[in-house]
């Protein structure tokens, strides 16, 4: 098998592992929900990182292999010569997820928000056996899960733009909806409190990013109303329609045209407000997933309006400009 086929196989396995993590998490009744999600999601990330390292190093497999000092027949360990480290079956050992993250971060390929999110999931996985009642922190863990999925989709758009993830349902079912009639009353154990403290420290020490997060808070509210003031949005003909108020739309589309022009030079090395840029923006404005046209007077179709943009606009611009 060629190294490029191995690379493609790693990509497929990474996607499969993440889909399995999401599928298990979204089951209506699963007792080991958070821990299983963490195990499979971490596995997905590790495989993705190794695939990225292969691509960055001309698909050379020794990039992801582990090596150990050579020991002569007399038992003398060499300080310079290295040999391939193998497992009990004789297959080459590969680097850990921590080593992969370190190498990608050193190459300025991996944002710190992703590293902190994965570190928190690893901590959950490693300490799961000590958590007496994971239900007591399920909401906090879910916030890590939402960020994990968002980060995975966004980094995929940057690293592997030819692999289209839109065909998959990559979302986590909010526990507020799944378990809406079940209240959990449990004292947080010392181990759980230590875990929450670790995650909070990572969030507090990390810079804000529009593309990547450590944790995302999701609220599900069911509100009766006698009006149709909301804005109905449905991206997929088979999808579930949702209704957003104007305030919620502004949250979903936080960027103005001026914001994009101001931040783009900090993101790209070759950005200029040329006819090329204006043409790209015209295409973006025609996409309801990326742009929302808000009227000053919603009751007047001739009212003055202004365009607001989703943070996903950066993924579209990334296709045309060079990231710093």
Tokens of 240: 């579930």
The pLDDT score that the predictor gives to residue 204 is 62
* Residue 271 CA: distances (Å) to CA of 281, 284, 314, 320: 13, 17, 12, 9
pTM above 0.85, yes or no: no
Hey, what long-range contacts does 263-269 have (CB within 8 A, 24 or more apart)?
A: 264/317, 264/321, 266/324, 267/314, 267/317, 267/321, 267/323, 267/324, 268/317, 268/321, 268/322, 268/323, 268/324, 269/321, 269/322, 269/323, 269/324
Q: φ and ψ at 79, to 5 degrees?
A: -90, -10
Q: Which burial class, exposed, middle or buried, applies to 314 when counting CB atoms under 10 A from its CB (0-12, 13-18, 19+)? A: buried
The arithmetic mean of pLDDT across residues 264-285, rounded, is 92
- Considering only CA atoms, which of 64, 110, 300, 134 is closest in space to residue 212? 110
The answer to whether residues 307 and 257 touch, using CB atoms and an 8 Å cutoff, is yes
For the chain, the distance separating the N- and C-terminal CA atoms, rounded to the nearest angstrom, is 35
Q: Mean pLDDT of all residues in the chain?
A: 78
| Spatial separation of the C-alpha atoms in residues 146 and 165, rounded to whole Å | 16
Which range among 28-32, 61-65, 232-236 shows the weakest confidence by mean pLDDT? 232-236
pLDDT in tens, 218-251: 554 545 544 444 444 444 555 545 445 556 666 7
Pairing assessment for the beta strands 67-71 and 77-84 based on DSSP bridges: antiparallel
For the stretch 98-119, what's the b/e string if a residue is b when 16 or more beta carbons lie within 10 angstroms of its beta carbon? ebbbebbeeeebbbebbbbbbb
The arithmetic mean of pLDDT across residues 300-319, rounded, is 86
The pLDDT score that the predictor gives to residue 42 is 94
Q: Is 72 or 259 the better-scoring residue by pLDDT?
A: 259
Angle value at C-alpha 41, between 37 and 44, nearest 5 degrees = 150
The arithmetic mean of pLDDT across residues 315-319, rounded, is 89
Q: Which burial class, exposed, middle or buried, applies to 195 when counting CB atoms under 10 A from its CB (0-12, 13-18, 19+)? A: buried
All residues at 6 or more sequence positions from 52 whose CB lies less than 8 Å from its CB, including other chains: 104, 109, 159
Tokens of 135: 């239900």
The answer to whether residues 218 and 268 touch, using CB atoms and an 8 Å cutoff, is no
What band does 315 get if pLDDT is binned at 50, 70 and 90?
A: confident
- Considering only CA atoms, which of 243, 244, 256 is closest in space to residue 293? 256
What band does 60 get if pLDDT is binned at 50, 70 and 90?
A: very high
């Amino acid at each position: 098998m060629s190294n490029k086929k191995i690379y493609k196989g790693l990509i497929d396995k990474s996607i499969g592992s993440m889909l399995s993590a999401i599928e298990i998490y979204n089951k209506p009744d699963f007792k080991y929900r958070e821990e299983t999600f963490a195990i499979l999601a971490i596995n997905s990330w590790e495989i993705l990182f190794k695939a990225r390292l292969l691509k960055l190093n001309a698909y050379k497999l020794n990039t992801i292999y582990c090596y150990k000092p050579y020991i002569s027949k007399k038992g003398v360990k060499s300080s310079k010569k290295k040999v391939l480290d193998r497992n009990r079956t004789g297959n080459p050992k590969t680097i850990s997820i921590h080593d992969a993250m370190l190498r990608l971060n050193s190459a300025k390929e991996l944002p710190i928000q992703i590293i902190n999110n994965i570190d928190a999931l690893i901590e959950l996985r490693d300490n799961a056996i000590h958590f007496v009642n994971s239900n007591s922190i399920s909401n906090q863990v879910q916030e890590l899960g939402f960020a994990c999925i968002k980060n995975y989709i966004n980094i995929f758009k940057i690293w592997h733009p030819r692999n289209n993830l839109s065909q998959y349902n990559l979302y986590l079912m909010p526990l507020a909806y799944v378990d809406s009639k079940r209240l959990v009353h449990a004292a947080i154990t010392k181990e759980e409190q230590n875990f929450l403290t670790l995650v909070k420290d990572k969030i507090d020490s990390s810079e804000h990013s529009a593309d990547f997060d450590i944790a995302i808070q999701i609220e599900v509210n069911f509100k009766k109303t006698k009006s149709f003031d909301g804005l109905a949005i449905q991206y997929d003909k088979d999808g579930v329609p949702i209704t957003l108020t104007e305030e919620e739309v502004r949250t979903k589309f936080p960027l103005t045209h001026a914001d994009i022009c101001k931040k783009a030079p900090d993101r790209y090395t070759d950005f200029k407000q040329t006819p090329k840029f204006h043409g790209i923006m015209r295409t973006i404005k025609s996409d309801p997933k990326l742009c929302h046209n808000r009227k000053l007077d919603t009751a007047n179709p001739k009212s003055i309006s202004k365009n607001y943009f989703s943070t996903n606009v950066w993924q579209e611009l990334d296709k045309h400009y060079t990231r710093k």
